[in-house]
Amino acid sequence: MSTYEYDFFVIGAGSGGVRAARTAAALGARTGIAEARFFGGTCVNVGCIPKKLYTYAAHGSHEIADSAAYGWQFAAQPTFNWSLLKNNKDKEINRLNGIYKNLLSSAAVEIYEGHARLVGPNRIAIGDREITARHILVAVGGQSFMPPVPGIEHAIDSDDFFELTRQPESVLIVGGGYIATELAGVFAGLGTKVTLAYRGGMLLNGFDHDIRSFFTDAIKNYTNLKLNTDIERIQDLGSTKEVFFNDGSRQSFDAVLYATGRVPATANLGLTENGVEFSDVGAIIVDKHFESSAPGVYAVGDVIDRVTLTPVALAEGQALARRLFGGPKQQVSYDLIPAAVFSNPQIATVGMTEDDARSYHKQIDVYRSRFRPLKHTMTGRDSFSLMKMVVDRESDRVVGLHMAGDDAAEIMQGMAVALQAGATKAQFDLTIGIHPTAAEEFVTMRTPVGD
């Protein structure tokens, strides 16, 4: 009989941790889990779920404006209530927190609410309580990175955004990635005057260059975009914040929000003291089985900084639990992972960018389509979509798909299945499109663009 209280103990009840705990318990492992903040992790509480809810609200203003072209008339000007949106969001997140706790309880996972840390081999302390476990999983996720800018204490981060009880009339968003661009679209859609400052020359680093260029141009329709710009300092003026830019200019805003990335939340967990090694960016280094340099200590999700997406953390947590406790073997593949940015316009992608494909394949063909969606031929809105396909010429396999436009994420999920199945350009060409839709563009592109 084991001398440990638990076969498996998880620190962090986010997506990866909860999936690992439930899977382990279902396989017969005595399992415990500790959470110091909120159940469901970043995604449920301050990430993808509340962000998407706010995005729906922002889209409402566009739908109202566009409806006039389709015959709708309103007796009074619609108004927006920020506090009501926040309160309804809080209710939904609280409901999801309860669901996560119930999922754990119903799976016979013992729950500890408190800060857990390693205190020795196979030993965890939660407050004054010390427990032992044969296997320990660290799945604590990440946290916002705030650079050491003078006056940074007067700025908020993306976590703080979801606690705002009053809508700012003007906001400066600093950053150029997922979070910065998504929140720019939310604020602007809800009526806030948005300035977006980014140190680079084009937004969304890491995406296909055509998508980056298209989006960087599109966002200028609703933001004051300041590229190649750094913030030198922030001064608190009471009701406003004065920001000093590196070009010598200054401007006041009701709020300043930093969305300059997230880092693994590994502080105060006793990891270094117990032999856990970290990468240069502070991520826990793990092997192909998610085991760290400390025997019996594992990590999954954002804390290992491989692909920081919720579905990836779920897959990693499940694969680890199955390997440890005898379930069906599962290998996590980091190829062909689809991703989306819920910005305005929405972006979705799967597979290689054009630049990646050119460096990997001898010859490629690139197909591209830019068009105005049917809806906006009547609204007159200056809104376009861009679709792009990258094909390995030798095998005819489609190796990358990219889209910016309405419903991009919903469309790309199905496309990801096709790429996983090894679909060729000829098979896309043989597929009958659904007309009239944006998605049919992916099966009607016939002529590659020139090199």
d(CA 6, CA 29): 8
Residue 212 CB partners (closer than 8 Å, separation 6+)? 202, 203, 204, 205
User: Is the Cβ–Cβ distance between 97 and 45 less than 8 Å?
Assistant: yes
SS (H, E, C) 239-298: CCEEEEECCCCEEEECEEEECCCEEECCCCCCCHHHCCCECCCCCECCCCCCECCCCCEE
How many alpha carbons lie under 13 Å from residue 205 in its C-beta half-sphere?
11
Q: Active site residue: 115, 289, 402, 435, which one?
A: 435
CA 209, chain centre distance (Å): 20
Judge whether 115 counts as a catalytic residue: no
Query: Phi/psi of residue 258, each to 5°?
Result: -95, 125
Cα distances from 288 to residues 46, 74, 150, 243, 310, in angstroms, run 29, 59, 41, 45, 19
Instruction: Give the helix ranges, DSSP H, for 34-177.
Output: 41-46, 48-67, 82-106, 158-161
Q: Which residues are catalytic?
A: 435
